[in-house]
Amino acid sequence: MSKESYKRRTKNEGKKKTGRRRTPISVSTQLRLWVKAGGRCEFLGCNEYLLRDRLTLSETNYSDIAHIVAVNINGPRGDDPLPLSERNEIDNLMLVCKLHHKLVDDKKYVRKYPEEKLIKFKREHEDRILRLTGIISGNKTTIVRLRSNIGNDSVNIPKEQIYAAIYPRYPEDDKGLEIDLTKLPGTDSPSYWKSGAECIRDTIKRFFAPSIAQRNPEHISVFALGPIPFLIQLGCSLGSKIPTDVYQKHWDNQSWVWKKRGNPQRYQVIRRKTNLNQSKVALMLSISGSISETDIPSNISKDYNLYEITLEGKKPHPMCVRTKGDLYEFKKTYLGLLREIHTLHSETKEILLFPAVPVSVAVMCGIARLPKVDPPFIIYDFNSAKGKFYKTLKVR
């Protein structure tokens, strides 16, 4: 049946029902709607609590139940093909204050509030209520965001994606900590890496300084997009004293939520080169991409004890880290190697680091490093134009 035929039939149904008493919304449907809406107005931005008058604080039912598609064809949005028999169902109903019921149904404004917009209001409100009421006490987290320019564009991480990723935790506050590197000089500037590292260290130090902010976060959630050396610096600056979850964007679905399923990722340590000078150590991290010895400076490949962490039984690829378990499996392998380096190369003053890693792994490299045990890192970054790694930062 065509849409036009369906509309004609629906209009005929409406004409037959003219003059009949409107079928009431069932008590069970009203109760379900109240629970889904959390007793608050579902109109976007209102959120009015509907059991209490905000002026007098008198408590009674101040709500209305609005139909997204009117119960008859002559009402607001009533010419929609939704069958008349389904118009009292919960998916077509919104819990609203009397003011916004009047607004969405008023002839003057009804075109401004089509069915699609009201459905979006309803879904976003009910999703938020479900998320907030599902929060367990003590699950607060401080959101730490780092953003920088990728190419010529500044990339932002929407709050909605952050809240979905941290659930059932919830933000300590609406602001958290944002580290903004978008105003740095260009990557060709001699001060680029130094300025960015100083910005990261200083911003974190100020934010967590007890004498200034009196903050004592119980948990941290990290969301970051930027060059790998800055992400490692971010992890080092945060450290491991406070429990921390690290997130990354999954490009297949544009989400920051860790995957729930997937074959566990395993990692292996390979000793590529052995040198008599035990104080010289370099580490390649071939996780999101393969690194060959020809990619790194020739003197390092020749004169250093060269280690590599890579995937076990697979070729490195950008989407290899999909679950939180994959990340912590890397952390376990990485920490084991750092302890081995500490034992075998106790005189080393620094570790040269060549990373080809996902965002979350880069941050974890910094977090997991023990500043009182492990030597500083000299971090190299890959220059795709020249096909080589070059020195960027020293992190302690």
Residue 157 has pLDDT above 70, yes or no: yes
Residue 175: the pLDDT is 84
- Select from 391, 361, 360 the least CA-distant residue to 378: 391
Give the mean pLDDT of 191-201: 95
Q: What is the mean pLDDT of residues 125-130?
A: 91
**pLDDT at residue 68, as a whole number:** 97
Determine if residue 47 is left, alpha or beta; phi over 0 gives left, psi from -120 to 50 gives alpha, anything else beta: left
Tell me the pLDDT band of 21, cut-offs 50, 70 and 90: low
Q: For residue 395, what are the CA distances in angstroms to 60, 160, 166, 239?
A: 61, 33, 28, 12
pLDDT at 120: 95
Q: What's the rounded mean pLDDT across residues 167-194?
A: 89
How far the first Cα of the chain sits from its last, in Å, is 71
Please provide the average confidence, as pLDDT, over all residues in the chain. 89
Q: Is the pLDDT of residue 10 over 80?
A: no
pLDDT per residue over 331-380, tens digit each? Answer: 999 999 999 999 999 999 999 999 999 999 999 999 999 988 999 999 99
Q: What is the mean pLDDT of residues 41-46?
A: 96
Residue type, 338: L
Strand 281-286 to 93-97 pairing: unpaired
Q: Is the pTM of this model over 0.85?
A: no
Residue 61 has pLDDT above 70, yes or no: yes
Residues 318, 339: Cα–Cα separation, whole Å: 27
From the list 274, 239, 236, the residue with the least C-alpha distance to 379 is: 236
Stretch 162-184: mean pLDDT: 90
Q: What is the DSSP letter of 77?
A: T
Stretch (H or E) spanning 194:
helix 192-208
Residue pair 305/340 in contact (Cβ under 8 Å)? The answer is no
CA distance 236 to 146: 14
Contact present, 248 and 359 (Cβ < 8 Å) = yes
Helix (H) or strand (E) holding 100: helix 98-105
Whether the pLDDT of residue 4 is over 80: the answer is: no
Listed ranges 130-139, 146-155, 200-209, 278-287; the one with the highest mean pLDDT = 278-287
Q: For residue 32, give the nearest of 115, 74, 80, 88 by alpha carbon.
A: 88
Please, are residues 33 and 95 in contact by the beta-carbon 8 Å criterion?
yes
Query: What is the pLDDT, as a whole number, of residue 5?
Result: 52
Distance between CA 113 and CA 105 in Å, rounded?
8
In this model, does residue 12 exceed pLDDT 90? no
Q: What is the DSSP letter of 133?
A: H
With contact defined as beta carbons under 8 Å apart, do 223 and 231 qualify? no
Q: Length of the chain in residues, anyone?
A: 396
Across 16-20, 213-217, 338-342, the highest mean pLDDT is recorded for 338-342
| Least confident window among 59-63, 211-215, 364-368, 369-373 | 211-215
In this predicted structure, the answer to whether residue 252 has a pLDDT above a threshold of 60 is: yes
Plot region of 387 (φ>0 → left; ψ -120 to 50 → alpha; else → beta): left
Q: Provide the token pair at 81.
A: 């093909």
Q: What is the pLDDT of residue 137?
A: 63
Q: Which helix (H) or strand (E) holds 164?
A: helix 159-166
Rg (CA), the chain: 29
Q: Which segments within the chain are labelled E, that is strand?
A: 63-67, 93-97, 140-147, 149-150, 153-154, 170-171, 177-180, 220-225, 244-247, 267-273, 281-286, 305-311, 351-356, 377-383, 388-395
- Sole residue written with tokens 């003059």: 19
Strand, helix or coil for residue 137: coil
The pLDDT, as a whole number, for residue 47 is 95
In angstroms, the CA 284 to CA 337 distance is 12
- Count CB-CB contacts under 10 A for residue 353: 26
Mean pLDDT of 37-59: 94
Reply yes or no on whether the pLDDT at 18 is more than 80. no
What's the gap between Cα 99 and its chain centre?
Answer: 35
Helix (H, G, I), strand (E, B) or coil at 111: helix
DSSP 295: G
Q: Looking at residue 324, what is its pLDDT?
A: 94
